[in-house]
A and B are shown apart, each in its own frame.
Chain A
Amino acid sequence: MAEDIKPALEGSRPGEMPHTNNLRGGITVAVLALVLLLGAFAVCSNTIMFQIGPIGVSSTMVPRVLALLTAAVGVLIAFNLIPVRGPQDFYGGLTLVLLAILALAASAELPGQRGFAFGPGTAPRLFALLLVGLGIAVTVVGMTSDGPPIEKYRIRGPAVVILGIFLFAALIRPFGLVVATYVAFMVSIMGSTEMRWIESLIGAAVMTAFCWFLFVKLLGLPFQLWPQDNAHVILFNQFEEVIRQTWIILLKMVEFKSC
């Protein structure tokens, strides 16, 4: 495992490291911010968040402006115009800003304060704005003080384990507890580099039996135990549903509302 020994490449100090990592980081930030900008144009509301002089800033304006600014920051990073001294804090803070923008956009259409009463949108917007502030503060810390580089992300192990969990979620209804447990165990064990086949097959069987005993026998939870008759149809329908939902969201995002 040679890649373990190499120092993590992410992050850089000006003059010391190649630009490539800031290029990658900056592009990622810019792309995410632009996606959010697109999303922020799909919502529209006349709720005034605050007044700057005579101009009232609406709740849809705020995420749009912030997303645009963040995208610009991303471009600046990519061209190495911003010193990144503590990449952990720098990118961590920016991600929080992005998250807060997402929250601002998602709650933009909720009604705000009426009289003395908070509306449903007041608190989310309030806390999201605070998060924007803190995210910027963390980012600034990452710009002004040296920090450790970001540890290298391992893709394979986590991805395999997450896949195992997803498979469990997909299989549990149509194919029942036994199949789902066995499959999830076998898939997630692949995430380890030290997997041994025989031991794993036996381990999966033992664990399946244990879970059946504990959850079904002892705790009496109403689980589908074995595959249903039309298991594959249900499985297919589930996938269709997921794709449909994703599609609807995508459609909504590219919708353009000017206001």
Chain B
Amino acid sequence: MSELLGNLALGFGVVFQFVWYTFNFFGTQVSVPIPMNVLFCLIGALVGTLVGVLPGIGTVATIAMLLPITFGLPPVGALIMLAGIYYGAQYGGSTTSVLVNIPGEATSVVTCLDGHQMARQGRAGAALSIAAIGSFFAGCVSTVLVAALGAPLTSLALLFGPAEYFSLMVLGLIFAVVLAKGSVLKAIAMILTGLLLSMVGSDLETGAGRMTFDFAELADGIGFPNIALGVFGFAEIIRNLELPEESREIVQAKVTGLMPTRKDLIDSSGAIVRGTVLGSLLGILPGGGAVIASFAAYTFEKKISKTPEKFGAGAIEGVASPESANNAAAQTSFIPLLTLGIPPNAVMALMVGAMTIHGIVPGPQVMTKQPDLFWGMIASMWIGNLMLIVINLPLVGVWVSLLRVPYRLLFPSIVVFCCIGIYSINNSPTDVIIAALFGVVGYWLTKHDFEAAPMLLAFVLGPLMEENLRRAMLIARGDVTVFFTRPISSVLLITAMILLVIAALPKIRRRRDEVFVE
């Protein structure tokens, strides 16, 4: 316990680090202490919300789009800012759900149901603040959870050899498949596509160029940001162009009465706690953590409610519980990333991309070698949540006015913003072209109802998987059974298989479809 507190203290110490900024004030040198990392977190949460509020732009696209602005920062600052962007983007999505009835992303689809009804009854303020308060509570709990589980899981990771790592990643990918929507078969096909894409470029061991077609630009592989921005940014824009400019039903009434009433708080307190517990648990599982969590929390709340008929007609529990759940899950999904180095979902895959660009290899060694980074990031999660509540509620008016900008002006802005962002990473025009091509690929994928998220996840895991597979095979002297004879590895693989079988069972499949249809 005391160790936990000590670690958290270290984390907060990092976050509240002051940098003395000296400037010339009318001829005298004045030094002011600036909490740089808090500032980064604040900026991150702000721009994250700013982009996340835009309808049709999900969390992944937001983070991919804003990655480049963190490149100039020191690693700790950059990751703290990214965490801020993540929470901002999530919260931005909820704001759009409540006010416009267009979910900014999958995690806030359920928030639409009751949130928008509340807004139409003139209680947009209450809905937004309950979402923020619920998220904050969930954030507090799950921050402690992440901190508490971090150390034991890291020591577990040290028991892992290459075979175990490989099996764990297989399990993670299978989880992602099972928890994603749509056909299991197609999701696995997407994973293999992602793995193949990750192998373009130089071979890890021999340095031989693989599948590069002798393009010098492909020698280092296809850049992760290019794929992410292409498939989630450009493709999204192209697809949205097809939809007729929807008559956005923005709640016109001024958002007043931000504070929820005492009754609101009492009504939603139970829902917040239940949502937090559910979300924290589901978030640790690899796969679509936050999305599943919000759906599950809503369904659960509706089931145990004494007045289920109120759900869908503006029940405050229907906002509180999914919002708490998705925030809790968003947070706890950092656990597998920080301790085992394995991103459990597409957002975390982006985080890995960002970490790699800063020269950090995520995994158990981060906690021991760079404790300031590890604990600083955990502490910044809490700060990020606090920021949301402090800055975002007063700024609701600003976000609403942003929603009034017509899409026809918005999308070219996003296009050029993405272009500059990609170009800035390597100063390479080729990267921009690759991203554009992946935009076309992403467009094709949606036409054929393929999910891009498993592909992205597999792309990030690809090099790690191949490396561990090769090592495991080498150590086992070419014996494939090693994955089943080593106990941990075999348990992981068998779990993966059971999951696959379960997901393929017709009864479960129908149930899965229902969850996503609702």
Residues A188 and B466 in contact in the complex (CB < 8 Å), given A134-B185, A220-B72: no
Q: Is the CB of B245 within 8 A of A194?
A: yes
A-B contact pairs, 23 of them (CB 8 A): A88-B449, A89-B183, A96-B193, A106-B211, A115-B478, A131-B193, A134-B189, A138-B189, A148-B449, A157-B238, A157-B241, A162-B436, A165-B439, A168-B416, A168-B423, A172-B432, A173-B429, A184-B416, A191-B411, A192-B241, A215-B424, A219-B69, A221-B424
- Contact in complex: B72, A221 (CB < 8 Å): yes
Residues from chain A with a CB closer than 8 A to the CB of B203 are 110, 120
Chain A residues with CB below 8 A from B26, complex form: none
Instruction: Tell me if B432 and A168 are in contact (CB < 8 A).
Output: yes
Tell me if B389 counts as interface (CB < 8 A to partner A): no
A47-88 contacts to B (CB < 8 Å): 88
Choose one: A123, A161, A164, A194; the contact of B469 (CB below 8 Å): A123
1/0 per residue, CB under 8 A from A, across B425-449: the answer is 0010110110110011001100111
* Nearest B residue (CB) for A103: B196
B188 CB–A CB distance under 8 Å = yes
Cβ-based interface call for B261 (8 A): no
Q: Is the CB of B214 within 8 A of A248?
A: yes
Separation in Å of the A145 CB from the closest CB of chain B?
10
The 8 Å CB contact of B415, one of A130, A164, A223, is A164
Contact of B408 among A107, A192, A208 (CB under 8 A): A192
Q: Is the CB of B186 within 8 A of A123?
A: no
Known contacts A188-B411, A200-B409; is A165 also within 8 Å of B419 by CB?
yes
B223-267 contact mask (Cβ, 8 Å, vs A): 1 or 0: 000000000001001100110110000000000000000000000
Q: CB distance A204 to B430 under 8 Å?
A: no
Q: Does A92 belong to the interface (CB within 8 Å)?
A: yes
For the complex, what is the distance from the CA of A194 to the CA of B244, rounded to whole Å? 10
- By Cβ-Cβ distance, the 3 closest A-B pairs, closest first, are A92-B448, A120-B203, A116-B478
Across the interface, B189 reaches (CB within 8 A) one of A117, A131, A170, namely A131
**Given A134-B192, A185-B415, A215-B420: A165 in contact with B436 (beta carbons within 8 A):** yes
- Tell me the residues in window 118-165 of chain A with beta carbons closer than 8 Å to chain B beta carbons: 118-121, 123-124, 127-128, 130-131, 134-135, 137-138, 141, 148, 150-151, 153-154, 157-158, 161-162, 164-165
Specify the chain B residue showing the minimal Cβ separation from A148.
B449
Return chain A residues, CB-CB under 8 Å to B185: 134, 137-138, 141
CB pair A161–B237 under 8 Å, yes or no, is yes
CB pair A161–B450 under 8 Å, yes or no, is: no
Q: Report the bound CA distance from A127 to B183 in whole Å.
A: 20
Contacts of B450 in A (CB 8 A): 92
Cα-based distance from A120 to B138 in the complex (angstroms): 46
Given the known interface contacts A92-B448, A162-B440, the answer about A123 and B408 at a Cβ–Cβ threshold of 8 Å is no
- Decide if the interface of chain B is mainly helix, strand, loop or mixed: helix
User: Is residue B3 contacting chain A, with contact meaning CB distance below 8 A?
Assistant: no
Known: A117-B470, A118-B469, A123-B199. A135 touches B412 (CB 8 A): no
Q: How far is the CB of A174 from chain B (nearest CB, A)?
A: 10
- A residues 1-58 in Cβ contact with B at 8 Å: 1, 4
Would A138 and B186 be within 8 Å (CB), given that A107-B210, A158-B440, A219-B72 are in contact? yes
Q: Is the CB of A96 within 8 A of B416?
A: no
Given known contacts A166-B436, A192-B408, A200-B409, what 4 new A-B pairs fall within 8 Å (CB)?
A138-B183, A138-B189, A188-B416, A214-B69
B417 within 8 A of A: yes
A169 at interface (Cβ–Cβ under 8 A)? yes
Q: A1–B183 Cα gap in the complex (Å)?
A: 33
Asked whether A172 lies within 8 Å of B423 as measured between CB atoms, the reply is: yes
Residues of A bordering B, CB below 8 Å: 1, 4, 88-89, 91-93, 95-96, 99-100, 103, 106-107, 110-111, 115-121, 123-124, 127-128, 130-131, 134-135, 137-138, 141, 148, 150-151, 153-154, 157-158, 161-162, 164-166, 168-170, 172-173, 177, 180-181, 184-186, 188-189, 191-192, 194-196, 199-200, 203-204, 207-208, 211, 214-215, 219-223, 238, 245, 248-249, 252
Q: Given that A100-B196, A103-B196, A215-B424 are known contacts, is A172 also in contact with B429, CB under 8 Å in the complex?
A: yes
Flag whether B205 is at the interface (Cβ < 8 A).
yes
Residues of A within 8 A of B477 (CB): 116
Choose among A115, A120, A138 the residue with the greatest number of B CB atoms under 10 Å from its CB: A120
> Contacting B205 at CB < 8 Å: which of A120, A128, A203, A238?
A120
| Residues A157 and B242 in contact, CB atoms below 8 Å apart | yes
Inter-chain contact A165/B234, CB cutoff 8 Å: yes
Residue positions of B touching A, CB distance < 8 A:
69, 72, 183, 185-186, 188-189, 192-193, 195-196, 199, 203, 205-206, 208, 210-211, 213-215, 234, 237-238, 241-242, 244-245, 406-409, 411-413, 415-417, 419-420, 423-424, 427, 429-430, 432-433, 435-436, 439-440, 443-444, 447-450, 466, 469-470, 473-474, 476-478
Instruction: Assess whether B433 is in contact with A169, with CB atoms less than 8 Å apart.
Output: yes
* From A4, A89, A107, A181, contact of B416 by CB (8 A): A181
* Chain B residues whose CB sits within 8 angstroms of the CB of A134 once the complex forms: 185, 188-189, 192
Contact status A184-B189, CB under 8 Å:
no
Query: Which residues on the B side are within 8 Å of A200 (C-beta)?
Result: 409, 412
Tell me which residues across on chain B come within 8 A of A151, comparing CB atoms.
447
Q: Which residues of A contact B411 (CB under 8 A)?
A: 161, 188-189, 191-192
A87: shortest Cβ distance to chain B, in Å?
9
**Min C-beta distance of A246 to chain B, whole Å:** 11
CA distance A110 to B206 in the complex (A): 11
Q: Give chain A residues whose Cβ lies under 8 Å from the Cβ of B430.
A: 169
Instruction: Give Cα A195 to B282, complex, Å.
Output: 44
Of A106, A158, A195, the contact of B238 (CB 8 Å cutoff): A158
Q: CA separation between A99 and B193, bound complex, in Å?
A: 8
Most buried by B among A131, A165, A184: A165
Instruction: Chain B residues near A96: list those with CB within 8 A.
Output: 189, 193
Q: With A211-B420, A214-B69, A215-B424 in contact, do A117 and B474 touch (Cβ < 8 Å)?
A: yes
Residues on B with C-beta less than 8 A from A204 are 412
How far is it, in angstroms, between the C-alpha of A99 and the C-alpha of B455 when the chains are bound?
A: 14
Residues of A within 8 A of B427 (CB): 222
Q: Which residues of A contact B69 (CB under 8 A)?
A: 214, 219
Q: Is the CB of A195 within 8 A of B478?
A: no
Q: A92-B186, A153-B447, A158-B443 are in contact. Are A188 and B415 (CB under 8 A)?
A: yes
